[in-house]
A and B are shown apart, each in its own frame.
Chain A
């Protein structure tokens, strides 16, 4: 398996499988995350899966005190290499299957007319193409619970807006190139907004504060404004 390990400062390192967005590479990412979790390594503060990389943040002081003659980075790198050299166990990395309701009416699908003009597809066709596919959550980032999902049908893979909006409401569903995602919190943002979900994707009161996890398989289905209001 080809990978590289690099330092992200003095308290984190990144295992990189190759700077691309691909299901196959992302599966390697999720497998490594599972292996790290299973290994129960000490001093790990955070494991952050991304499209094609895994970053671990670790406690330098704890490691230096346990191993006086080795750098914490060397220790953690060796641990990663050991995990990566093990034969891949046949563990399932398919995540949960989740269905997410989205209201694609023009009240919420702010950019549908623009996308329609750009792609020469009708709004109905755009909605059809967006709801027809299953998407994989490659990673969570940017905001609490913001899931980067893909891959969007090429015909509606429109680029980000040139001028980001100053405020996008929580629940807004967007497209950015081959990625689709939902804003869990109100935030500035540049994704093309095609609808809104009534599902709460971030809830600080819940034990699972965020709705999505890397590896989830997501399908969207269309709901009416009434169904949205009464959700």
Chain B
């Protein structure tokens, strides 16, 4: 066996060891991050006595579905899940399309008023949302958008749009100039080239942004609460608030079960798009 081959093998072993070390760290981080989530799910499966018990148990001793049943049977669960899905999908779809257009304009064109628009987009996000509740309500009431899902969609767009424009712009700027130039030299037309070259390159950014927009609007509570009065028209976070908004007994188990159910659609959405993020690395390298 030659010395060179031995050295190669030693380097490979070192590399494997290092990777194993990183993996171990990743698992530790995973455990620490996920513990609160685990605690929520575990509590949802525990019996009432076990939940208030003085010594916490790591695993439910007598796992029960009673809390999940109570949550699902609570009035308006399915209606409100449906409402949330409608609000979120419309908000995300419309926002991402509009934001992408604006982001291209900001990142790739120079024009008068560009700076003003950037300042506006950033400035809007600096406004404390609590301050906007009443002025926004008054406007929406004027357009008969109170107690309507469309009013909530419009409201969500006001904070999802600036954010999305802002982040997508960052992703578009991050694309190395050489790639675009290469595409142009290849003879593509102006915007056609953009769409062909930009879209695949920006895909991870689009996905990350839409995941964010999805989660942001799925989890929003304050505006939905103020704008929607009718329980049949509310979103699922508002539905959840009825667990702890009573002056009476708070059913911790059912609250945790309801919370767990509320989180599921986000996880599903992510699973649907995670390939784009998880394999974004390679996608970025292949670059058409």
Does A associate with B in a complex?
A: no
B residues sitting closer than 8 Å to A (CB atoms) are: none
A residues sitting closer than 8 Å to B (CB atoms) are: none
